[in-house]
Amino acid sequence: MSDRQVSRRHFLGRVAACAGALSVLPRHVLGGPGQPTPSDSLGGALVGCGGRGGGTFGGLGKNVRRLASCDVRFKRDADNKERYTDFRRVMDRQDIDVVAIATPPHWHPLISIAAMQSGKDVVCEKPLTRFVAEGRAVVNAEKRYGRIIQVGTYGRYGAIRDKGRVLMHKILASGLLKKSPVVHIARGGLKVKMWSGYVNPKPQPVPDSLDWDMYCGPSPLRPYHPHRVGGTHRGYWDYEGGGMADMGQHHFDPVQWTYAKDDTSAVEIDSYAPPAHPLACGMWGWVELKYADGTVFVMDSREWGKPYDRLEPHDSVSLSDLSEEDQKKVQAMPDPEPWPSFEEAVKTRKKTGGCAEPAHRSAAIMHLANISIRVGRKIKFDPVKEEVIGDEEANLLVHQPMRAPWHL
């Protein structure tokens, strides 16, 4: 048979092989009716249209058309986009490829999981979760459904472009460092007082424009008060975790990567704070988190009590801290590959810098710190089982119940 002569059987076999290969590609890569190719715009939806909503949607990329919006307030967008109050209606739509989530954090995990389950890629505001166990559920969903997720902190993208931080990352990742660094992550700038909640506020009527039951969602259905909605929602354990959870990930995320802690959590967490209120986030002084390798992260609020003075910082790590033989081992380690942007990741199916596992571990720093503050004592944590050791009260804050019918 000549090069130009192809039998019908051979041709059909080639077609079948190609079809099998194409079947594993994401829907929007193939194109077709209602399925744009990467060169065309993707269909996007925004869930949570107030506050950070517009900026979060922008994180989806330049070639995304906003086809749907979802918010617990009933008013329509000024540009008259289709509007929902229940995010599940968004997940039912086949013309939505990517979803931006800018709700309060108590909704982040369930909406992220639902989006990935329905075949959509996700940009989610930080923090990824409200409590630790939710994070593992999101990580599992990312793996199970093969989706792209990017959590809205990008500090680590700057860290991976910094040669000094890259070297520190390699030294810590090598496991060859004998001394343990003490990293003072934050000295102020955590908005602790700003995002403290009201204690025993007088209940008020629910506005007609608000679906209060849907707003509360998996969290307890409390009496309505306007301070629980909008940016001040951060002051209540039901929805977030005060200034720690609001600002923490900006501080923690690049440090967590630099010191090679993306796949683990602290094993001992101690704090200095007044007695915590069961519903309203309040003041605290400092938190100290110690890892199994001896590394210590410290957050000092500078907003309550005496400043942290237990351990002096010594966070500078260099090759001179290693033996000559170990220096050669680190120098032989390849530099980490830069992470793609969310837009690039959707096309290439490579994980972003803020994918589920590191985003979960960053959120866990905040949650463990808040658990120690709430129970008023040092806690010990197993970073593999992701459970507090020997303290059932504290462990209940790792695995918090959800209000029916919502569940992980």
In the chain, where the domains are located = 8-154, 156-338+353-398
Give the number of other CB atoms < 10 A from CB of residue 131: 23
Q: What are phi and psi of 328, to 5 degrees?
A: -65, -35
The whole-number mean pLDDT for each consecutive block of 10 residues of the chain, a chain of 408 residues, reads 38 39 44 51 95 91 95 64 88 97 98 98 97 98 98 91 96 96 94 97 95 97 97 97 93 95 98 98 98 97 96 95 97 96 96 96 97 98 98 98 97
- Entry pTM: 0.89
Q: Under CATH, what is the fold of the domain 8-154?
A: Rossmann fold (3.40.50)
| Confidence at residue 83, expressed as pLDDT on a 0 to 100 scale | 87
Strand 82-84 relative to strand 64-70, pairing: parallel
Contacts of residue 164, defined as CB under 8 A and 6 or more positions apart, other chains included, come to: none
What b/e sequence results for 30-41 when a residue is b if at least 16 CB atoms lie within 10 Å of its CB, and e otherwise? eeeeebbebeeb
| 8-154 and 156-338+353-398 share one fold | no
Give the number of other CB atoms < 10 A from CB of residue 196: 21
Helix axes 356-375 and 242-258, enclosed angle (nearest 10): 130
| Confidence at residue 398, expressed as pLDDT on a 0 to 100 scale | 98
CA distance 173 to 260: 5
Contacts of residue 21, defined as CB under 8 A and 6 or more positions apart, other chains included, come to: none
CA distance 83 to 74: 8
Q: What are phi and psi of 100, to 5 degrees?
A: -105, 130
What would the CATH number be for the domain defined by 156-338+353-398? 3.30.360
